[in-house]
């Protein structure tokens, strides 16, 4: 369990500061990444000063169908702490055991005809996080750049970006946007001359 979700790291009951805005925890239905939801949960718990009992209660009421099924599938007496529920959510919706599936999805990811570069880069980031959760930053950026360039529909544009040897996904994305806008502007000028 990540350190930020361990109850030992949090005081039993911390009190929110006066005039501090209360953070609301959104519902979780199991259709989005559980780790992102758990990060938001931890942020709300820390900010709002929830005790361990508060954490369990808030976590339970934040589950909506079909994720709330986890509450009545098991004997309710076995859910004694919020960390018990976190373990069940990770077991059901987590991707730790699915890393090889996400690695395959990343390797075979291709830009769809109606998909912009922005959407593509966002999905590459998502798949990188799932495929290589503990990957170091430098190595991860190399993998992400390669996956992004391999996924691009316009492989001549991808080749021009490769020639510039971007060291990060952000750098590759910015190059792609700039070079693509140059291409579009040149095509627009040529189209007006004809």
- How far apart CA 77 and CA 157 sit, in angstroms, is 58
What's the confidence (pLDDT) of residue 17? 55
- The token pair that represents 20 in the structure block: 């501090």
Nearest to residue 118, comparing CAs of 60, 177, 163, 165? 177
Residues 70 and 49 in one domain: yes
Cβ–Cβ < 8 Å for 62, 25 = yes
Report helix, strand or coil for 63.
strand
Other Cβ atoms less than 10 A from the Cβ of 49: the count is 16
Q: Please, which residues have CB within 8 angstroms of residue 55's CB and are 6 or more apart in sequence?
A: 7, 41, 45, 82
- The token pair that represents 129 in the structure block: 């996080």
Residues 52 and 79 in one domain: yes
Task: State which residues form the domain around 140.
Answer: 98-193
Q: Which of 53, 75, 94 is the last residue of a domain?
A: 94
Nearest to residue 106, comparing CAs of 57, 140, 82? 140
Counted domains in the chain: 2
What's the confidence (pLDDT) of residue 122? 94
Partners of 63 in the β-ladder: 28
Block mean pLDDT (10 aa), the chain, length 194: 46 55 89 86 93 92 88 72 87 76 91 95 90 78 95 96 96 95 80 48
Other Cβ atoms less than 10 A from the Cβ of 188: the count is 9
């Amino acid at each position: 369990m990540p350190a930020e979700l361990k109850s030992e790291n949090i005081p039993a009951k911390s009190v929110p500061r006066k005039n501090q805005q209360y953070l609301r925890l959104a519902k979780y239905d199991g259709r989005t990444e559980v780790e992102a939801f758990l990060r938001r949960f931890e942020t709300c718990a820390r900010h709002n000063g929830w005790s361990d009992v508060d954490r369990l209660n808030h976590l339970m009421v934040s589950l909506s169908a079909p994720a709330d099924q986890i509450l009545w599938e098991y004997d309710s007496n076995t859910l004694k702490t919020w960390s018990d529920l976190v373990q069940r959510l990770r077991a059901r919706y987590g991707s730790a055991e699915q890393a090889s599936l996400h690695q395959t999805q990343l390797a075979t990811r291709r830009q769809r005809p109606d998909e912009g570069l922005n959407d593509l880069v966002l999905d590459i980031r998502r798949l990188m996080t799932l495929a290589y959760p503990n990957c170091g930053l430098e190595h991860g950026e190399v993998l992400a750049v390669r996956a992004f360039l391999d996924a691009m529909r316009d492989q001549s544009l991808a080749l021009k970006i490769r020639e510039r040897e971007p060291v990060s996904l952000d750098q590759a994305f910015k190059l792609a946007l700039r070079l693509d806008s140059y291409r579009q502007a040149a095509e627009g000028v040529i189209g007006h001359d004809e």
